[in-house]
Amino acid sequence: MQNRRIVLASRPEGPVGLENFRLETAAVPRPGEGELLLRTRWLSLDPYMRGRMSAARSYAPPVEVGAVMVGGTVSEVVEARAEGFAPGDLVLSSNGWQDYAIARPGAVTRLDGLKLPSYALGVLGMPGFTAWHGLLQVGRPRAGETVVVAAATGAVGSVVGQIARIRGCRAVGIAGGADKGRHAVETLGFDACVDHRDPDFRQKLKEACPEGIDVYFENVGGKVLDMVLPRLNDGARIPVCGVISAYNAEPGDDGLDASRLLRTILVHRVAVQGFLINDHAAEAPAFRAEMQAWLDSGQVRYAEHRVPGLEAAPQAFLDLLQGRHIGKVVVEA
């Protein structure tokens, strides 16, 4: 029995490529007293992982070259040398991109009774919580306002738009390609979805937001934000939860005009607020209860893109950064 693991082979210079990853095999680790041996069932792929591949310290330390890529997982207990756990139990943990890992009970969360355990990596986990906190606590939308979110069919954006609708807002998505636009409107219930690849994107965005934009949930940055700026209403709020475009960008080349951004902030009294969901753990129970109720009632719908096989994780991650998927991306390990 071997442990397959995907390590950071080298730090990307420019866009991430497959050469930045390496699949290794090693012995399966043995749990010590008080520890659990976990087998990864689902691995979450998320844009923040791009930040961890670079040497610059972000809000968390980088992954060392040669170390296993980090990541949240839903894992099954294989061997339990800690009280209260038994083989077959499912837990939320941070095994990273590998088949097996050792964890102490304090580092995992039991997933008893969750009908669809992989949801703990998405709509009921960090991405859903990011959408819920960021929109409601930072964006503070009022009924009748217009909420715009990019990456509208992704794990965070899809939830942002649906919560906006629940709160009586006009929800406008931005996504790449007609398939995503249809999914956003027909399945997720967005009022409109604009294709950022459309040569008339600027005009289409304007038409989709006839009363301007009150909340722009920022999760991509770059050119899209630049196009949003002229549409912002006085007092608009911009929660900033992640900036995919900036991860790949060289200074000055991401299509966002900094002086235009500052002028807009001033002229329209805009509030731009960065947040990291890890700071808000105290709100997690309230989030889970509300989100579970919305899922049960069908008010929130959720799409997963499942990728079979741990070895497919690097390509799936590149596809995620390129926006090639609809829905939350999880690897079935």
Q: Terminal CA-to-CA distance of the chain, rounded, Å?
A: 15
Helix (H, G, I), strand (E, B) or coil at 91: strand
Of 19, 186, 207, 279, the one binding a copy of itself (CB under 8 A) is 279
If one asks whether residue 252 binds a copy of itself (CB under 8 A), the answer comes out as yes
If one asks whether residue 276 binds a copy of itself (CB under 8 A), the answer comes out as yes
Of 43, 240, 331, 333, the one binding a copy of itself (CB under 8 A) is 240
Total residues at interface with a copy of itself (CB under 8 A): 38
If one asks whether residue 268 binds a copy of itself (CB under 8 A), the answer comes out as yes
Closest among 103, 1, 3, 4 to 311, alpha carbons compared = 4
If one asks whether residue 221 binds a copy of itself (CB under 8 A), the answer comes out as yes
Angle at 147 between CA 170 and CA 205, to 5 degrees: 85
- Residue 226 — φ and ψ, nearest 5°? -60, -35
Supply the DSSP symbol for 231. G
If one asks whether residue 260 binds a copy of itself (CB under 8 A), the answer comes out as yes
Tokens of 111: 């997933």
Residue 118 or 245: the one with the smaller Cβ distance to a copy of itself is: 245
Q: At what angle do helices 126-133 and 284-297 cross, to 10 degrees?
A: 100
If one asks whether residue 270 binds a copy of itself (CB under 8 A), the answer comes out as yes
Helix (H) or strand (E) holding 100: strand 100-103
If one asks whether residue 171 binds a copy of itself (CB under 8 A), the answer comes out as no
Please say whether the beta carbons of 98 and 75 come within 8 A: no
Residue 59 or 322: the one with the smaller Cβ distance to a copy of itself is: 59
State the minimum distance, in angstroms, from the CB of residue 215 to a copy of itself: 15
Helix (H) or strand (E) holding 157: helix 157-166
Of 18, 262, 286, 289, the one binding a copy of itself (CB under 8 A) is 262
Stretch of 13-21, 128-136, 214-222, 310-318 contacting a copy of itself, by CB under 8 A: 214-222
State the minimum distance, in angstroms, from the CB of residue 150 to a copy of itself: 13
Q: What is the dihedral of CA 163, 220, 56, 312, to 10 degrees?
A: 80
If one asks whether residue 225 binds a copy of itself (CB under 8 A), the answer comes out as yes
If one asks whether residue 256 binds a copy of itself (CB under 8 A), the answer comes out as yes
If one asks whether residue 266 binds a copy of itself (CB under 8 A), the answer comes out as yes
State the minimum distance, in angstroms, from the CB of residue 204 to a copy of itself: 22
Residue-by-residue DSSP string for 254-310: SS--HHHHHHHHHHTT-EEEE--GGGGGGGHHHHHHHHHHHHHHTSS---EEEEESG
Tokens of 92: 């939320």
Distance CA 268, CA 259 (A): 14
For the chain, what's the residue count?
333
Tokens of 87: 């083989």
Q: Among all chains, which residue has been given the structure tokens 């009748």?
A: 144
If one asks whether residue 14 binds a copy of itself (CB under 8 A), the answer comes out as no
If one asks whether residue 15 binds a copy of itself (CB under 8 A), the answer comes out as no
State the minimum distance, in angstroms, from the CB of residue 32 to a copy of itself: 35
If one asks whether residue 241 binds a copy of itself (CB under 8 A), the answer comes out as yes
If one asks whether residue 273 binds a copy of itself (CB under 8 A), the answer comes out as yes
State the minimum distance, in angstroms, from the CB of residue 80 to a copy of itself: 37
Stretch of 16-24, 157-165, 242-250, 312-320 contacting a copy of itself, by CB under 8 A: 242-250
Tokens of 189: 């219930």
Site for a copy of itself in 45-64 (CB under 8 A): 58-59
Which residues here bind a copy of itself, judged by CB under 8 A? 58-59, 218, 221-222, 225, 240-243, 245-246, 249, 251-252, 254, 256-276, 279
